[in-house]
Chain A
């Protein structure tokens, strides 16, 4: 209802009285919130005499009315509601949500660089520690955990053979088809075999295997160690006098360094097989394919690919374990670590592959 109040100074001001409903709950208080929150030049009086049921959001509304300013008043609060109101609001502290920090461009760049350098330093330290731990196995061979290494190899290697072979085979088929189309124009289809052999054994076999391994096993390492960190299992190991580096990380590093080259052999062989099948469509017999392949490749190509695969395996396991062991608190942190492990692994695989290609070119490997 609208009322006109005559003030002592002679001015006339319109006042609106709003009756609050019997049930002041989250379901039905929306309209009253909008009246309290929207600034008005008129004074508003909220009458609570009918309120019988008032949930937490209702009490919050009464609190907001009481603190909305001189133009807004709350009257006739029932005694029982008043008691709840006092109890619920006595510890209220006006606390705004944490303001989001707005940083300048230079400060943001500096902060990013600082984080990057700190992360690089931590990663290099972790790499150094892992190499020391592996070297110490020669001094303390009892620390060599063959059973754990075989178990990790089984999980990450044997179970991945099928998918690696499938990807390798399709890769060989695709390369053969794409290159044969162009080579056919120049009557040089037989040289496609050279391309398949070199590309698959030197580059694509190890690279595709490594990317698959990063997604399949690097992420698993991060998730396993991250969950163990969250559950304080790493602390338990440390207090038993067992170094998590020796106990958890080294077996994964050694297993991965062995498994990725082996998987890459499977990928390369099935890639060549796929290429040979496609070459059959271009009237290249298996014998011609074999002779051309052996003649175009050297042992250096094979060992170059295998060497890269060993490094890929080590780096993927290292990044997965590092991300896992640096997991923060809570379930979300495990997800973040897993994502970070995969992304970092793939970036480093490509970087290492690029550096290796450059070195091979310079050294004539």
Chain B
């Protein structure tokens, strides 16, 4: 699909209903994520942000609706096709999900080992280059247990990029990081978007990061089970018709407006 900005839709969510019997989190929701966008999925705790991300990457079957990744359904395709679509996505889980028994370099090299026939020096160099691009070139031979929180997240992003994915889904990338590390991570995301033409879907409610790098925010609401805000963070903070959205973006406690 081409939009008014002449950008392609890389992720299309169509009439999605997700949750589980007795607890519907989102009902009949549709939206597009365009190429080269940085989109934040946000909302209060327990509203289904991470579940939506898992649904988009095909780990959590929806109750109804479809999700198209580059026009191909990740829900209704056969298993082989779904695996192929998933390989085109770079995913960083909230905990980093690095393999504890492998070094950082081996973690980043893992997808290359599994899915390419490149010679070992090529895989090592590619992994080393990704670590260097994420400003951790000296961490290659460390074990995940020896890394700080910020380094684990960056190593997770390096691994997500290893197979040349240009759609990256990051779950809480700056949660628990100090402000400097979080800002550096935001800069890395902007740099990867500019240089590698990546699209980012980020699950987070870190307002500083959102105002720093987000093109667009989608805010989920557990009460109406829908998206109650879709727009740039500045626009939503100032002009959203929904007081809950303005309250969220202004970080105000209940009872203030």
Chain A bound to chain B = yes
Residues on A lying within 8 angstroms of B by beta carbon are 25-27, 29-30, 33-34, 37, 55-57, 59-61, 63-64, 83-84, 87-93, 95, 97-98, 328-333
**Is there a chain A Cβ closer than 8 Å to B64's Cβ?**
no
Cβ–Cβ contact B145 & A330, under 8 A: yes
**Is there a chain A Cβ closer than 8 Å to B164's Cβ?**
yes
Give complex CA distance A61, B123 in Å.
10
Complex: chain B residue closest to A333, CB-CB: B100
Complex: chain A residue closest to B115, CB-CB: A26
Within 8 A of A (CB), among B125-144: 125-126, 128-130, 132-133, 135, 137-138, 140-141, 144
Closest 7 A/B residue pairs (Cβ): A330-B100, A55-B164, A329-B145, A91-B132, A60-B126, A93-B137, A98-B141
Q: Which of B138, B140, B141, B164 contacts A56 (CB 8 A)?
A: B164
> What would be 14 A-B contacts, judged by CB atoms less than 8 Å apart?
A26-B115, A37-B122, A57-B112, A57-B123, A57-B164, A59-B126, A84-B195, A91-B132, A91-B135, A92-B129, A93-B138, A98-B103, A330-B144, A332-B101
Q: Which of A30, A88, A331 contacts B195 (CB 8 A)?
A: A88
**Which residues of chain A come closer than 8 Å to B132, judged between CB atoms?**
88-93
CB distance from B158 to the nearest CB of A (A): 9
Q: Describe A's contact surface by its main secondary structure.
A: helix
Q: Which of A27, A59, A87 contacts B116 (CB 8 A)?
A: A27
Q: Which of A34, A64, A87 contacts B191 (CB 8 A)?
A: A87
Q: Mark B140-167, 1 if CB is under 8 A from A, else 0.
A: 1100110000000000000001111000
Complex: chain B residue closest to A336, CB-CB: B101
**Is there a chain A Cβ closer than 8 Å to B59's Cβ?**
no
Q: Describe B's contact surface by its main secondary structure.
A: helix
Known A25-B164, A26-B126, A90-B132; further 15 A-B contacts with Cβ < 8 A:
A26-B118, A56-B126, A56-B162, A57-B112, A57-B126, A60-B125, A64-B122, A87-B195, A91-B133, A92-B132, A93-B137, A97-B140, A328-B145, A329-B100, A330-B101
CB distance from B85 to the nearest CB of A (A): 16
Given A87-B195, A89-B132, A29 contacting B100 (CB threshold 8 A): no
Cβ–Cβ contact B195 & A33, under 8 A: no
Cβ–Cβ contact B125 & A64, under 8 A: yes
Within 8 A of A (CB), among B45-83: none
Cβ–Cβ contact A95 & B163, under 8 A: no
Residues on B lying within 8 angstroms of A by beta carbon are 100-101, 103, 105, 112, 115-119, 121-126, 128-130, 132-133, 135, 137-138, 140-141, 144-145, 161-164, 191, 195-196
Cβ–Cβ contact A95 & B133, under 8 A: no
Cβ–Cβ contact A61 & B162, under 8 A: no
**Which residues of chain A come closer than 8 Å to B121, judged between CB atoms?**
33, 37, 64
Cβ–Cβ contact B138 & A95, under 8 A: yes
CB distance from B144 to the nearest CB of A (A): 7
Q: Which of A25, A27, A60 contacts B129 (CB 8 A)?
A: A60
Total number of A-B contacts with CB less than 8 angstroms?
Answer: 100
Cβ–Cβ contact B133 & A87, under 8 A: yes
Give complex CA distance A55, B145 in Å.
29
Cβ–Cβ contact A332 & B133, under 8 A: no
Cβ–Cβ contact A95 & B141, under 8 A: yes
Q: Which of B101, B116, B119, B164 contacts A37 (CB 8 A)?
A: B119
Give complex CA distance A26, B119 in Å.
10
Give complex CA distance A92, B112 in Å.
19
Complex: chain A residue closest to B130, CB-CB: A56
Give complex CA distance A88, B112 in Å.
18
Complex: chain B residue closest to A335, CB-CB: B101
Cβ–Cβ contact B105 & A83, under 8 A: no
CB distance from B148 to the nearest CB of A (A): 13
Complex: chain A residue closest to B117, CB-CB: A30
Given A56-B164, A97-B140, A63 contacting B119 (CB threshold 8 A): no
Cβ–Cβ contact B164 & A26, under 8 A: yes
**Which residues of chain A come closer than 8 Å to B196, judged between CB atoms?**
84
CB distance from A323 to the nearest CB of B (A): 17
Cβ–Cβ contact A61 & B122, under 8 A: yes
**Which residues of chain B come closer than 8 Å to A97, judged between CB atoms?**
105, 124, 140-141
Give complex CA distance A27, B118 in Å.
8
Given A64-B122, A92-B129, A333-B100, A57 contacting B140 (CB threshold 8 A): no
Question: Counting chain A CB atoms within 10 Å of each CB, which of B112, B115, B124, B132 scores highest?
Answer: B132
**Which residues of chain A come closer than 8 Å to B145, judged between CB atoms?**
328-330
Give complex CA distance A93, B122 in Å.
15
Cβ–Cβ contact A29 & B195, under 8 A: no
Cβ–Cβ contact A56 & B161, under 8 A: yes
Give complex CA distance A56, B109 in Å.
12
**Which residues of chain A come closer than 8 Å to B161, judged between CB atoms?**
56
Give complex CA distance A92, B136 in Å.
9
Give complex CA distance A57, B145 in Å.
27
**Which residues of chain B come closer than 8 Å to A55, judged between CB atoms?**
163-164
**Which residues of chain B come closer than 8 Å to A30, judged between CB atoms?**
116-119, 122
Give complex CA distance A144, B9 in Å.
65
Given A33-B122, A83-B195, A26 contacting B133 (CB threshold 8 A): no
Complex: chain A residue closest to B119, CB-CB: A33
Complex: chain B residue closest to A64, CB-CB: B125
